[in-house]
Structure formats: C-alpha cells, structure tokens
Structure 1
Amino acid sequence: MPSALRLRGLKSAEIDFLLSYCHVSGADMGESVRSLGMGSSELVMQAASIRHGYPYLAPAAIDEIDPRDIAQYAPKLDENTSDIPHVPIALSEDRSALLVAINNGFRYQDTVNRIRAYDKRLQVQFCLASKKTIQNIFRREFFDTRRLFDDARAGAGEDRYNKMLEALLLHACYQGASDIHLNPLPGRAGVCYLRIDGTLETFCFLTRSDREDEMGEPGEFDRIVQAIRADTNQTDSDIIEGGLDKAIPEAVKGKFRFRVEITKAYFGNRAVVRILNLADDAAEFHDIGFDPVTEKKLLRAVRQSAGMLIVTGPTGSGKTTTINALMRTVDAMETSIQSVEKPVEIPEGLWVQHNARTHQDTSEAEEWLRWFKALMRCDPDKMFFGEIRDAETTAVALDGANTGHTVLTTMHTRSTAGAITRIRNLRRSMTGEGLDMDMVASNLLGILATRLVRKLCLHCRLPEDRREVLDAINRVHPDLADHTSYKANPDGCPACKGKGYKGRRLVYEYLDVTRKARIAISEGKSEIEIESLIPEAERLWGTALRFVALGVTAYDEIQRVILEER
C-alpha cells in the first residue's frame, strides 16, 4: 500500500507519518489516510487499484448504472447490514460477462462463487470501489427501502408510528435525501416530501386529524410529527428546534445526524428534518470538475501566505465540500490548518477543527467573533471560518488576512459580484459604520460562486431541438456549437426512477481579484461593472451553458438553478 499511495501523490514524509501513526494507534492504513485528511476514501481506492491491478470505479459512475438487467446479481441483504460485499455494475452486451465492484481485492473468490450461483457460465470481471460507493449503489439501486415504510404503515399498535418514522429516516438516508418535509394540507391530509438532488419529490400522503375537530383521533401525519417533537425534548411552542436521538434507526446511528425544525403553520404543525451524512469525506479537489484555468487560480490562492478567499452560494450549493477539498491540497504536516464551524461537517484528522456553540448569554454574532479572535491567537497558517454574515466577523476575518494568515470562508450571495455588494452594505451594529473597502480590496484573493445542477439521465435523455437553446449555446460557446445537446425525458426511465435526471455536478464562476479588480472594488464600482471583469463564458450562466452544450445537463435545469443572463 505505501508504494501505491506514493504513486497517487503522497510524499515520503506523509508515508512515514502514516506508518508511525498506524503503528501507535493500530489503525488500518487505508482508513487512516482518510481520517487524517491526507486523502479521501477515493484516493485510497485508487491506490488499491494500482496495487491489485483492477480498474477503479469513481463515485460518478453511480449515475450511469441501469439496474434492470443486473438486479438479480445483487446480494440479498437487510437494512442493518453495513458490510456490503459487492454490487453488480454492468452486464456485457452478449450477457456473458458481469462487471462487479468490490472493496477488497483479496476477497474476489468469495464474490465469484456467489455470482456464479446464479449462472455457472457467467464470466465475472472486477473493479474496485470505495465502501461508500458500493453502499450507495446497493441502497439506491437494489434495496427496496420504500417497502420498509409500507410494512411499518401496515402494522398495528401504537408503536407503528415510531416504526414509520424510523423507516422514513432510513429510506431518506439511503436515497441520498438532504431534507424531509412533513407539510399539513387542507382537510384531513398531510404530505411527505424528500429533497433529493436539490428538488422536492413526493414520498407519500398521510392521514391527518382535522384541526377543527379537537376531540378527533390524531392521524398518521400527526403521530409522526408528535414522535419527532417528543424526540427533540423541546417544550410546546410555535417554533421548535432540536435534534433526533431515540428515533434514529440502528443501521444509521453514528453515520447520520438529524436536525429538526417544527413550526405552527396555517393548516397545522409542519416539520422539516435536515439530514447530515457524517460518513462523508472531502472529495479530491481534482475530481470536482473545475476547468484547468480555474483550478490553477484556486490552487494559487489557497497557497498564498496571506489573504482571504470567499466561496459563495445558497444553502446546499457545494460550498463546504469545495473548500474542504481545496484546503486538502495544502500540506497539513507543514502548515497549521484550523477552523471554526457550526457544526464540523467533514472531520479532518490533521486539522484543528472547532465546533462553535452559541451560549445562552451571547448572540450568534458575538459567539462567532469570540471564536475567531481565539483562533487568531492559536498560531494558524490557514483558517477556515464557517461563514461571515455581519460586519464585525467580516472585519476580524479581514484582519486575519491582513496579519499574515490565509482565511477561507463562505457567504450566502448569488454571485461573485454580489458578494462585493453585500460586504459593501454591511454595517457595524454599534456605530453603523461600513467596512474599509480599500482593506477589502487589498486582502481579497478571489471569490468563487457555486451551484449544483442535476445531470441528465444517460439512458433516456432526448436530443435538444429548440432553436432558442441552440442559439444561446452558439452565442456564448461558438466552439461547442457542433456538439449534441440534450433535454430531459419528461417520462424518465427505470434507471432514473422516472425523473429524467440522475446525480448532480458543480457549476461555478471565479472572480480572480487582480489589480484591475482591486481598483474596481476600492473605487466602489457597481455590481454590473465588477461582473464584467469575468468573461461571459466563464460566469455562472456561461459555465452552466457549457455543460448543456456537452450534454451533461439540460437548458431547463440551468434556468431553474441560475438567473439567466440576457
């Protein structure tokens, strides 16, 4: 393994550190690479593929799998199984060979024996994939988690509502949902949505008691919301915030965290459950999908000895994943990397990460300020500050950048130029004064804006024939006009579960704060003037349109996610 890891880019000093750590801790070398932040689980599997001579299966391959012809070869496991031995990936056209993903190159013979129990003449070929990739493929494509909910719903007794909630949480986790919405509807009904790949999907309708019939029997919807409320240990109020504990299924305990918000809406109580995957680790920066020029600029920025880099975008746009992957390109053995986050989403063993908690006697802004000032006294080189949202924390972040630290942070704005406008409009709470924009201009390294767009299903996408779409591509990307672009099939197919889309990818724009940009910021130029510093083809709309031209996503999808430039 050490020689394979060296081929994948780890330095000799990192290998020596890793060997010493494993000797003292008794930890597995491959797992230690991930837990220490020296590389992701995908880098470990890339090294293993070199060692064993099998092809490597990237996580993005999940989006290309069609489960219809290969489901019979999937292992028969229950919801509590964590060690999934293998998953089928594809069947050859003549149906004589099956490609199977495994995690351990030494255990291939067991897999061969299991597969050939279905067909002794079948040739089995192997590729290596991370445990996370194998689990995601199995649970999304071959395991019927919906049946668990239906079985719980068909049960009897008071306990069935708790079982329904557990089955709902399990299904949402295994299908890659980021949120569960339980919304009351007029009359005696409620609806459950799952947010998957950034859009809400209807999961089921539930019976609900009529709010005017106070003596009526609570329905399924009410009982599930009550079970969520009880698990938060919060007193009755119009707004309840908390986390789940007892309701978490055993199969996902320690792997997922659930944040709850219950509010009194017009038609009754509604609940939103946010799902955080604790098993996620940072992606490899080079696998995120930046073009070579933008990638080079970002790497140059994070390797500066001082300055501030901002990643902006709405919630769920890939900001934290991108920052963590970028910071992983910095040698954490030679550089002190420290962070303040709320909460820590991706643990990195060689970094010093702090979970910021708000005390009852201080506001959130005061708490962030206290943490950031403390971090400045801890001798950091690179600092990741979860988010800047007010003038005071922004001023301290700028001071950190001005005194010889590289500060990376996030902000909620729709574009890179919008981030400048927001910083310009921030006012200190005590004096009402704004920030020194000369200081902002001199310390900013760059601003990256991100979005996630859904990818078209490769098995059912349709050729794009609308003139307006083809003209838009030709205007911004004339060099790509000859490529075939596609649109989503409104009926979808079994491979994408009728959605027309499968998976997501990052689109972005990067404002490199050059001398020209510094002058524009310092002189108070308008948002449009600052935006014009980025070529049209490299703005959010332009990069998204490039992926439409290449057949990755659809024009309708980028219109949904990004404000169209006209």
Structure 2
Amino acid sequence: MQNKKNQPATEEQKIKDILLREDYVSAKDIENAEEYARKTKSTIVEYLLGQQLLTRDLLGQAIAESFGVSYADLNYNQPTRDQILAIPEAIARRYRAVLYAVKDDSVIVATDNPKQPQMITALKKIFPQKNLTVAYSLKEDVEATFVAYRKPLETRFSLILAGNRRVAPEIIEEILGDALIFKASDIHFDPQEKEVVIRFRVDGVLREAGRVPKEHYENILNRIKVQAHLRIDEHFSAQDGAIRHSKDGKMVDLRVSIVPTLDGEKVVIRLLGEYVRSFTFSDIGLSAADQQLLAEASKKPYGMILVTGPTGSGKTTTLYSLLKALNKPEVNVMSIEDPVEYKVSGMNQIQVNKQTNLTFAEGLRSIVRQDPNIILVGEIRDRETAEIAVNAALTGHLLFSTFHANDSATAVPRLLDMGIEPFLLASTLEMVIAQRLVRLICSSCRFSASMSQQELAAAFPKLAPYFNQKSLTFYKGKGCKSCGDTGYKGRLAIFELIPVGRELKEIILRNPSSKQVWEIARRDGAHSLFEDGIEKVKNGITTIEELLRVAAPPEQQPQAMR
C-alpha cells in the first residue's frame, strides 16, 4: 500500500498541502474538491479551477513550490519567437521546455516537469556558456508556445500574395480551394495590427496558411458577408451565416461566424466537406467487434443510442455513418439539428431556428407526429429535450443523439441529474458511445522503430501493462510535404461502447454513480477509450504520443487485450 501512495498521488498531496498552508483555499474547499474528484474521476484541481476558488497563476505557483523551483508565467511574460526557436523542436517537445528569459550570463528555461532526468544535460549542450535555471510553467502554457515550430502550409493563395499581384476579393475562392485540398475543417482569419493571418485547422491542429495585408482585408471580409447574407455595415456585433460553395461541380456547405475584436473582425469558416459524407464504420475507426455491437443495438425497433464526447470529437460523423447504414426507402428517417451539417438523400432534416421558436424540443415534438421510424436529435442540451427524447424512444421510435460527457459511464448519472426518471431511462437506453479523435500516421513518411520493455517503462511508465512482448515495434511519421512536415495525415476515432444490458438497466433504477456503471460495463466486456487507442497504436495507425494527447490510461488494470 505504501508504494501506491508514493506514486502519482504524491505530487497532488504536495500541491494540496501548499494550497492549505498558504491559505490559497480552505480545508472545506479541499474536502469538497476530493468528494467531487471521487465522484467524477477527475482531480481536485479541476474542481478548484471550475469553482473559481483558485486561479491558474496561484495553481502554477503552488505546483512550482512543490517542485522547489520558481514559477514562470508564460502568459504574462510571453517568450519571443526567437526565444522559442533557440531550443530545437525535438528537445523542446521531448522535455516540454521553452526559453523563458535570457541575460548576459544566464538563461531561465520553463517546463511543466523540472525533475525530468537528462533534461539539464540536454539544455546545457544548447546553452554551454550560460548559467542554467529551470522554472515551472503550466503544461498548457508550455505547449501553446510550440505553435512557433509549425511551418506554414504551402498554399496557392499565399504564392499569389507573394507575387505582389493586386489582391482582389476573389482571393477567397483560392483560400477555400486550398482549404479543401488540405481537407481543413475550419478557416480562421485573424486580424492583427498590420496584417491578417489566415490559418487552416487540419487534423485538429491550426496551421498558418498565409497572410494578407490589412488594407486588402475589408474587401475580402465584405465578399464573405455578402455570400453569407450578412450585413456589411455591421462591424461591432457578432454575426452568423451560411454559404453554399460550388467547387468543381460539387457543393460544399460553409458555416460563417464573425466576431469583432480589437484589431478588426475575426472570421471563422467551418467547412462541411464531401469527404466526410461517405464515411463507413471502418473509416471512422470502429473495430469489427464494436461494429457488431453497434449493429445489434441499431437493429432494435425502438430505444435510444447516445454518442458522447467534447466538441469536435466526431460525434455527428459517427451518427451519420450509422444513419447511412439504416437509411432505406421503407424507413422514415427525420432529424432536428443545429445546424444541419450534411445533407443526406432520403432523410428529412430540420434546421433549428430560434427566431421562429423552432428549438430542439419544439422540433422533436413535431417530428414525433410525422410517423418517423428513426429520429436524430443533434444534441440533448436541456431537461426538456431529454424528456421528449426519452418518451419518443419509449413510444416505438429508434432515437440517436449526442450528449456532452467525459466518458460513456458518466452519461448515465448526468442524464439522471437532468431530471430524467430512472425507470424511463432504464427502459429506453440501449447503448452509450464515447469517442475522441486521434491523428493518423502519415502513410507517405511512416517508419518503424523498435523499443524494449525497459525503454518503454522508462519513457511511458503507465503503458507497460498494455504490452507483453519483450521487443516492441512502434510507428511514427518523419514529416514530409504530403503531411505538412507533421508526421500525421487524417484522423479517426477511438471508441468506448457500453451496451445497456439487464444488469445495467437494474442499477439505473437505483441512481448509480459513473463508477458503478463502469464496473458493470467492464464485467460485461467493455473496453475504455485508452484501450481502443492502444490497439490502434499496436496496429501502426497512430502514435503513443497522440493517444496520450487525447486519452488518459484508466485507473484499473487493462483487460486481456483483444
């Protein structure tokens, strides 16, 4: 037992002691935080920050004190691009280190783990003539500086701009064309003092695509507003619109959001490309075993299937893949969405419209009177929508929806907390799916590397139980022109499926915690998000680093790997 206490919890205990000793929080606050952490499988820090009992700066100072080093606030004293690039990218990412301050004879390097072995040796090779001091900074602040290492995408519109040609509003057509080529999900127009930075979100990561002189931006902005049917004389209010863009005979739906900032109006365009609409279960990452479970649940004449996950985790794509398999002439499929992301032939899709009071709840009431077999509700956001959805599933309809929850087990207590009667939920819920998106290793620059069990245990201590072989082979991407030098190209999902069987239905009647739900699901053979990701790592689909970016290893020991 003593060994367990000396593992990861030690650092949290140190932080807790410092927070109490310095009166950052009260003993009652810590008690509430520990209770919350037990119930939600989170940390006391998440509770304290969420309840605004602690600021990020105070947290950083407390953690720095637990390490016995000073705190470097990378938000207040932001390092320059030259400072960041002073440490080679490979070293910076390996140790999550950034050059924080430089003096004549000394440097301060910030990292989120000052106790990393070999880090000091590696940094002294970079700064051989300087006295080196290591400081602590929050992990997300350190990683935010790594954007400086990203190389701009080689876009056609940036070459047009570099050629000193007249920048016409029609340049937006080239920008959209480039975004489709790179399969970007979003285009960002970020106004700055003298220019506008254009970035594409590719495989979940924002990358710079080009820059437009500020004097040409107004014409581009007005063209976007006209095409999206927005007011061109409005510069101080947020506006939302949509564009139907035709490219090479194909229609692409664009969602436009414009908000005023200090340096001008920022535009974000969401691209709903054709390359998403044709996805199958295999394309999105479902294993054969999980496909079978989902197929069995979706063949039932009534009930509810929920897909959970954060914004941008591919929930809608999963539901459309499911509907594509079920959408047949003899079936009436209807949806209420905000917005309608993909138009599907043979499916009756309704767009939420707040101006006409067409909300999820009102739309769902109307759909039930349209004699549907299958209903898609874009999102369950409130108690009213949840109650109508459950009743629709109870009265002979198969209903699919998305729901915001950290994992599949948490969805059950969250729905009960919204006020859904336990006996109604137990009668209707057939399956809960949780998912996250991971980037795929680029097939053009993929290479293999061997690693022993000892090396794996040293680099990733928590992963050793998931690999039984003495010699392991992992895959990575070197980085090439095809993937924009990232080593990744494309994304798919990792999944966690909980079929709701007899035992789960019985415990739902007793208002269970997420832990109780997960324990029963495990006994029934459910695997966690992380375990599904490990399978994809073993198959050379993604990397360990990418998996750890989106999913944490579960507290329990892994099941026998499939």
Q: TM-score, normalised to structure 1's length?
A: 0.63
* Cα distance in 2, alignment partners of residues 230 and 251 from structure 1: 18
Q: What are the equivalent positions in structure 2 for 1:89-108 lying under 5 Å apart?
A: none
SS at match of 1:505: strand
Relative distance call for 1:198 and 1:331 in structure 2 (3 A) is closer
Is structure 2 residue 178 aligned with structure 1 residue 171? yes
Is structure 2 residue 513 aligned with structure 1 residue 538? no
SS at match of 1:388: coil
Residue in 2 aligned with 1:382?
A: 374
Q: Which stretch of structure 1 is more off in the superposition, 302-311 or 466-475?
A: 466-475
Q: Give the C-alpha shift of residue 328 in structure 1.
A: 3.4
Q: What are the equivalent positions in structure 2 for 1:33-48 lying under 5 Å apart?
A: none
* Cα distance in 2, alignment partners of residues 267 and 397 from structure 1: 44
* Cα distance in 1, alignment partners of residues 241 and 249 from structure 2: 17
Relative distance call for 1:173 and 1:396 in structure 2 (3 A) is same
* Cα distance in 1, alignment partners of residues 461 and 521 from structure 2: 21
**Equivalent position to 1:555, from 539, 544, 547:** 544
Residue in 2 aligned with 1:415?
A: 407
* Cα distance in 2, alignment partners of residues 342 and 259 from structure 1: 11
**Equivalent position to 1:259, from 255, 258, 267:** 255
**Equivalent position to 1:463, from 434, 449, 460:** 449
AA of the residue aligned to 1:518: K
Q: What are the equivalent positions in structure 2 for 1:485-504 lying under 5 Å apart?
A: 485-489=474-478, 492-504=479-491
* Cα distance in 1, alignment partners of residues 391 and 181 from structure 2: 43
Identical columns (%):
27
Q: What are the equivalent positions in structure 2 for 1:205-354 lying under 5 Å apart?
A: 205-208=211-214, 219-232=215-228, 233-234=230-231, 235-244=234-243, 248=245, 251=247, 255-278=251-274, 280-330=276-326, 332-351=328-347, 353-354=348-349
Residue in 1 aligned with 2:427?
A: 442
* Cα distance in 2, alignment partners of residues 418 and 335 from structure 1: 32
**Equivalent position to 2:155, from 139, 142, 146:** 146
* Cα distance in 2, alignment partners of residues 367 and 240 from structure 1: 19
Relative distance call for 1:460 and 1:402 in structure 2 (3 A) is closer
AA of the residue aligned to 2:160: D
Q: Give the C-alpha shift of residue 481 in structure 1.
A: 6.8
* Cα distance in 1, alignment partners of residues 374 and 227 from structure 2: 39
AA of the residue aligned to 2:321: A
Q: What are the equivalent positions in structure 2 for 1:165-204 lying under 5 Å apart?
A: 165-185=172-192, 187-204=193-210
Q: Greater relative contact order: 1 or 2 (C-alpha under 8 angstroms, separation 6 or more)?
A: 1
**Equivalent position to 1:476, from 443, 466, 479:** 466
Relative distance call for 1:393 and 1:182 in structure 2 (3 A) is same
* Cα distance in 1, alignment partners of residues 178 and 397 from structure 2: 44
Q: What are structure 2's unaligned runs of at least 5 residues?
A: 1-152, 556-562
Q: TM-score, normalised to structure 2's length?
A: 0.64
Is structure 2 residue 407 aligned with structure 1 residue 403? no
Q: Give the C-alpha shift of residue 263 in structure 1.
A: 1.1
Q: Which stretch of structure 1 is more off in the superposition, 466-475 or 404-413?
A: 466-475
* Cα distance in 1, alignment partners of residues 327 and 190 from structure 2: 47
State the superposition RMSD in angstroms: 2.8
What's the CA shift string for 1:253-306, capped at 9, x where partnerless? 752122111112244321111111257533233554422332221111101111
Relative distance call for 1:350 and 1:241 in structure 2 (3 A) is closer
What's the CA shift string for 1:497-552, capped at 9, x where partnerless? 31111222221000111122223333222223323334498111111122122222
| Contact 2:158–2:209 under 8 Å retained in 1 | no
* Cα distance in 1, alignment partners of residues 398 and 467 from structure 2: 35
AA of the residue aligned to 1:302: S
Residue in 1 aligned with 2:116?
A: none
AA of the residue aligned to 1:203: A
Q: Give the C-alpha shift of residue 389 in structure 1.
A: 1.0
* Cα distance in 2, alignment partners of residues 166 and 155 from structure 1: 18
Q: Give the C-alpha shift of residue 308 in structure 1.
A: 0.4
Q: Which stretch of structure 1 is more off in the superposition, 466-475 or 412-421?
A: 466-475
AA of the residue aligned to 1:165: I
SS at match of 2:520: coil
Relative distance call for 1:410 and 1:488 in structure 2 (3 A) is same
* Cα distance in 1, alignment partners of residues 162 and 171 from structure 2: 6
SS at match of 2:361: helix
| Contact 1:282–1:321 under 8 Å retained in 2 | no
